[in-house]
Amino acid sequence: MIESATFHVMTTELVVGSFALAGLCFVLHSFLIFQNKDSKFMPMMDTTAHIALLFGLLALPFAILSGINSSPSGAHTSPLLANKMLLSTAGGGLALGVLYARWKMHSDGFSQHIHNAFGSISTGCMLLTASLGGTYTRADSLTEFLPFVKENTLLLPKWMSIAVIVLIIAALVLRRSSTVKHG
């Protein structure tokens, strides 16, 4: 049987590698759109970015759950681990949004740039999460210039969390009742 720490390392590498590939493809795709070069690689980069993002997203729950299980004291005891949870779920949520938006997206240049930017931000969240893992296990990483993530957890107050939930529900309800004929 594989220990949870070993399984966490394996799934984390899958997530980080997939998201890094997706982020690279998003940036290159946006760069080629900006250069107005019609290349045979553009559809391939777009497809690769989204498939890599989907694969990383599918591996993400295994990385999160095995990370919680491999932590000796649980994720709720350290601000660093809580920040890792927040960043990984934020990156996962952005990735879900990017995949859903790709399914519904038009093909004009500006929306593709915005789409690629959100895909790259999702990748950034995952890479920052992985770097914080290096801080937790080895006490060194690329995040040494961010001292606040080790000592503080950025959480919303309860009233603001409730306001955000109400805003999201209102946006979903209003979106369904659009007066514009779609189709």
Q: Give the residue extent of every domain in the chain.
A: 4-153
Which tokens go with 53? Answer: 């993002």
pLDDT reported for residue 143: 65
Mean pLDDT by 10 residues, the chain (183 residues): 80 91 92 79 88 92 82 66 81 88 70 85 87 68 63 73 85 64 55
Verdict on whether the full-model pTM lies above 0.85: no
Query: Using CB atoms within 10 A of its CB, is residue 12 exposed (0-12), middle (13-18) or buried (19+)?
Result: buried
